[in-house]
A = this chain, B = another copy of it.
Amino acid sequence: MKKNAFFIMLIVTFALSGIAHYAHWDMIAQFAFSAIAILFVAGFLGKATESVAHYAGQRLGGFLNATFGNAAELIIAIFLVREGLFDMVKASLTGAIIGNLLLVLGLSMLLGGIKFKQQHYNVEAAGHNATLMIMAVIGLFVPAVFVTSENFSVRKDEILSLSVAGILILSYLLWLIFSMITHKDILADEQAPPDHGEEPAWSKRTSVLYLITATVMVALVSEWLVGTLDTFSARFGLSELFIGAFVIAIVGNAAEHSAAVMLAMKNKIGAAVEIAIGSSLQIALFVAPVLIFVSTLFGQTMDILFTPIELTAIAVAVFIAQSVSRDARTNWYEGALLIMVYLILGIAFYLV
């Protein structure tokens, strides 16, 4: 598609979706317009990320993308926390984690792997990602076991949840220091051969500006789309858990999704992995703990206890993703396996 045509479609679909939302058109119309708009705004975000990644290096670019992608989720979740809808918050966090580890990572590996026989990325980064994933599982798992088998009081449950949340946030901040400052060079992907003649479309400054704009647009359209889901869940008889863990998570991650897959198909699998795994780590180690502190500010502490099936889903996603990603080589079959596990979990959640 020519560049100008793309920008026109982007603006038109975005505007229509906004009008439909604010003018309270029929829910089906709202859904249709925002579903089309999300394709273009996500595509825009993908291009902007790629351009920024060109200037910033694959890892920093991936980190920026993960952060911008999760900013939207964090904002939506804070609204839910304020309403006291803790179960739906946890379901959507679970969905975001497994969606990134299984669906986003899986599609990137699958589509990238169909085009390139084998894709490589930095093996040190893979090892650290795997360890951080285990850290995330531990942080969610330990409180569940202790509170359940020792019959903790509500007060102790609160203390434990806040302590673990603090430790997870600290771990994440130290990780940023480690990966962005002290050991930046060790984790960098080897310089990919220069893309002959393929100059980035935009200047450095324009790229960053577009990245921010695109993120805001994605956040808005996601919210409009999410707003229509209640009607849908009622009409199709879907449970809140399924809506939270799958529908919201898929729509909310459309941005990471398209960006990661586009990068993978340009053989930049390192950046794609960084988006997918980085995003899920950010949710488990930063977004979820921050929400616990936020809930305390709102007057009622949300505990860090996920349900057994949520913990199972997260643990399963982490184990298969780290087994697949640990060797820092990917191919289409590894992607297919991740998607298979996502299907198993999707069916199981659908039946709940």
Contacts and interface: CB of A to CB of B under 8 A. Distances in A.
Contact of A167 (B135, B329, B344): B344
A171 interface: yes
Contacts of A178: 331-333
B135 A348 contact: no
A333 B149 contact: no
Contacts of A319: 134, 138
> Considering the complex of A and B, which 9 residue pairs feature the smallest CB-CB distances, nearest first?
A178-B333, A131-B323, A146-B348, A145-B312, A149-B308, A163-B347, A156-B351, A127-B327, A134-B323
A340 B142 contact: no
B174 A333 contact: yes
Interface string A302-345: 00000111001000100110011011010111101100110111
Contacts of A78: none
Nearest to A325: B131
A170 B343 CA distance: 12
| Contact residues of A: prevailing secondary structure | helix
Interface string A63-96: 0000000000000000000000000000000000
B316 A348 contact: no
Contacts of A36: none
Interface residues of A, number: 61
A226 to B, nearest CB: 25
A146 B340 contact: no
A141 interface: yes
List the number of copies, as a whole number. 3
Given A127-B327, A128-B333, 11 more contacts: A117-B182, A118-B186, A124-B329, A134-B320, A135-B320, A135-B341, A138-B341, A167-B340, A167-B344, A178-B331, A183-B333
Interface of A: 117-118, 124, 127-128, 130-132, 134-135, 138-139, 141-143, 145-146, 149-150, 152, 156, 159-160, 163-164, 167, 170-171, 174-175, 178, 182-183, 186, 307-309, 312, 316, 319-320, 323-324, 326-327, 329, 331-334, 336-337, 340-341, 343-345, 347-348, 351-352
Contact of A309 (B132, B149, B316, B336): B149
B344 A142 contact: yes
